[in-house]
Amino acid sequence: MNKSKTAIVRAKITYFFKETFRAHSKAEYKEIFSRGLNDDNTGVSGAYPWLYVRAFFAFLVLFTINVLVLRLTNNALHIPSINFLGGITFTVPFIILLYELYPKRDVSLFMLFAILVGGGTLACVLTQACYMFIPIPNKWIEAVAAGSIEEVCKAILAIAAIVVLKQKNPYACFLTAATVGAGFSVIEDMGYIFYYSETYFVDIQMTVTLFIDRGMSSFCTHILWTGAIGWAFSYIRNPFKSVRFILTLLFGVGLHICWDLPLEGWWQVLDIALCTIAAAAVNIAIVHLSRIKTLAAEVDLTSVNEAIIREAKALGEKMSYTNAANLTYVIMWTVICVIVLLFCAMPIGMEYKREEFSSKEEFIAYLEDGRTFEKNFKRAYDPYGHNVEERYTRDENDNIALSYVIQSEKSGGYEYLYGYYVGYDNGSPEYEIDSISVEVETNKLTYTYACSTYYFADEMVYVFDINSDELNRYVYHETDGTVTAVLNAEEFEGYDMLIVMCSVGCATALACSVIIVGLRLKIRSMRDAD
């Protein structure tokens, strides 16, 4: 790259950065929200992206506040707000960024929001309708089915939106399709956050985890997969007869299938990384080439580059201080939000925690403290055995008769207690086993634990629930054989971590406040000097 091109690239980066963080006027807000709504929407916009940053931090702060209130008050009224904000915090600003990168002025932001809501909803409805008729026997088939059904359904709605809007610009079609994918992603993300963080109990740790996981993955999943299909539909002539269009569709389907594959460990990390790189590379190329072609058709790029260099140099020292102050605000609130979310996710004072078990056997092993016991409910009463307890009652003739007996037996290093109801047939006693208990030494003390009944779908299992005091409830998932258990949470004793986080937050707020005050004083002195 020669010096002139290097200077242009450097100037673009500087200008982009300063435009993002500088203060924007009401006229600039009016301009971006009125694009595509005026009678004259010709030409290109000379503005650099900036609204997406403000939208992201507004949503992030609101999400953090609602999570903090829920954490401190446990008021379930904040759960819907958390689900909603958790679904849009990353996705909607990303769509706004793609919209701001679109150079022409013939697309409305409000129209995109309508497509996001309507197109995303219809894509979800069509997807669920297809799922009703397709059996999914295992996770591998589920990955193939999800990738195929969801991408085809989103593509149908994206193409329908492009046709209705009569858009021909490849970038505009990419943006329209990406917005359908964003709407699908928002609905799916809100559903995941709601289901996995509130179905069993209000699990704030899971809420924050899903917020970050689903939010970060939105940059390289539904939005980009569907966007590439929309771009190909406009870019390729006679797309339904084109092999290239079919390959683009299969590209999105293939990435979705690979993303959902039930891999584990480093294989899963490698799979996700490759899917992310492939989707990002293709879509960055689409955005870049589409922008260049659109701008080349409207303006002289050489003069634009020269204007960028002149404006970047003309921003002056005062604007640099203003931008530095705004950036400091962003850094301060970002650090505070991260610290607050970490605090909310820490199990300090929480009543419950959720734990996932890969199988019912693992769950039973947890309940039985990893021990192996005998559960012989067919054991017959031993008339020569050792009775540790006998209960008597009076019969109809006012005679004292044995009614219940508990018999002990040692086996496998444990002492078992078998309880029997005693009935009489023609004067002969009949023994019917009622319960089994076992004596177990825990922390140098001996406790007696009864054998309880647990149900896993249609299967009934007897369990010596040594750790049942920790169990609040459990759910068995027939589809994959896993068990989700809600356990009593132990008080987190690492208050030193809480102290460190509070210290970091206070130090960051104090340092940023000092910097901001200093920058503001410098700006005022420069203004007075002028």
Interval 104-137: pLDDT, tens: 888 899 999 999 999 999 999 999 999 988 888 7
- In angstroms, what is the C-alpha Rg of the chain? 33
422 shares a domain with 306:
no
> Is residue 375 assigned to a domain?
yes
For residues 225-252, average pLDDT: 91
For residues 369-391, average pLDDT: 88
Longest pairwise C-alpha distance within the chain: 116
Helix, strand, coil percentages in the chain from 3-state DSSP, rounded to 5: 60, 15, 20
308 has a pLDDT exceeding 50: no
> Is residue 527 assigned to a domain?
no
> Is residue 19 assigned to a domain?
no
The most confident of the ranges 12-16, 225-229, 427-431 is 225-229
For residues 384-402, average pLDDT: 83
The per-residue pLDDT for 303 is: 47
Q: Tell me the C-alpha distance between 159 and 525, whole Å.
A: 56
Domain that holds residue 270: 111-310
For residues 172-177, average pLDDT: 94
The per-residue pLDDT for 330 is: 83
Instruction: Output the CA torsion 30→36→42→43 (10° steps).
Output: 60
For residues 371-393, average pLDDT: 88
**Domains in the chain, number:** 2
Ranking 202-216, 218-232, 238-252, 421-435 by mean pLDDT, the lowest is: 202-216
> Is residue 497 assigned to a domain?
no
> Is residue 283 assigned to a domain?
yes
The bridge status of strand 414-425 relative to strand 400-411 is antiparallel
Q: What is the pLDDT of residues 451-503, one digit of tens each?
A: 989 999 888 889 988 888 888 888 888 877 888 888 877 655 556 777 788 88
Tokens of 54: 């403000």
Q: Which helix (H) or strand (E) is 80 found in, with range?
A: helix 79-88
Q: Tell me the C-alpha distance between 405 and 393, whole Å.
A: 12
> Is residue 336 assigned to a domain?
no
248 shares a domain with 380:
no
- List the beta bridge partners of residue 423: 430
264 shares a domain with 366:
no
386 shares a domain with 482:
yes
Residue 452 three-state SS: strand
